[in-house]
Amino acid sequence: MANTEKNLNLEELVQKVFEKISKNIQFLFFCFLLCMIYIWNSHMAQNLVRDINKKAKELKELRWDYLTIKSDLMYESKLTEVLPRAQALGLEELNMPPYKLTVKKKEYQRQD
């Protein structure tokens, strides 16, 4: 008899739990939806952090490349480096300073 009372009590308990769940199904669905949004949001945040770190490393490498190229260009544009290459092409250094040409606006008119 104790065994059948347990079964009845267990059946009643299951029925009561099922009734409470069915009454609160909208709330449970809402909680499930919030959990899914939370998981999606954390996933997107982790992806964003990974992308930011990746871009930061790439930016650092590009900056190193920029500084290397800039220093090479500054070295190659020195007079002591340019002069031997220019002489190999048959160019010579100027003996007199350059002068500026000026043209008055009245003298220069467009002829169509």
| Residue pLDDT, tens place only, 46-102 | 999 999 999 999 999 999 999 999 999 999 999 889 889 999 999 888 889 888 988
Q: C-alpha dihedral over 23, 26, 28, 32, to 10 degrees?
A: 170
Q: Is residue 55 part of a domain?
A: yes
Please report the pLDDT score of residue 8 as a whole number. 67
Q: Is residue 23 part of a domain?
A: yes
Residue range 32-44: average pLDDT? 98
Please report the pLDDT score of residue 95 as a whole number. 87
- φ/ψ region of 6 (left if φ > 0, alpha if ψ in -120 to 50, else beta) reads alpha
Listed in sequence order, the residues at least 6 apart from 83 whose beta carbon sits closer than 8 Å to its beta carbon are 93
Q: Is residue 96 part of a domain?
A: no
Q: Is residue 108 part of a domain?
A: no
Q: Is residue 31 part of a domain?
A: yes
Distance of CA 20 to the CA centre of its chain: 49
Nearest to 79 by CA among 99, 97, 94: 94
Residue 3 reports pLDDT greater than 80: no
Domain membership of residue 14 as a residue range: 7-88
Q: Is residue 100 part of a domain?
A: no
> How many CB atoms lie under 10 A from the CB of residue 73?
9
pLDDT, greater one: 74 or 8: 74
Q: What is the pTM of this model?
A: 0.54
Please report the pLDDT score of residue 53 as a whole number. 98
Please report the pLDDT score of residue 104 as a whole number. 79
Q: Is residue 72 part of a domain?
A: yes
Structure tokens at 1: 């008899």
Q: Is residue 104 part of a domain?
A: no
DSSP class of 102: -
Total number of domains in the chain: 1
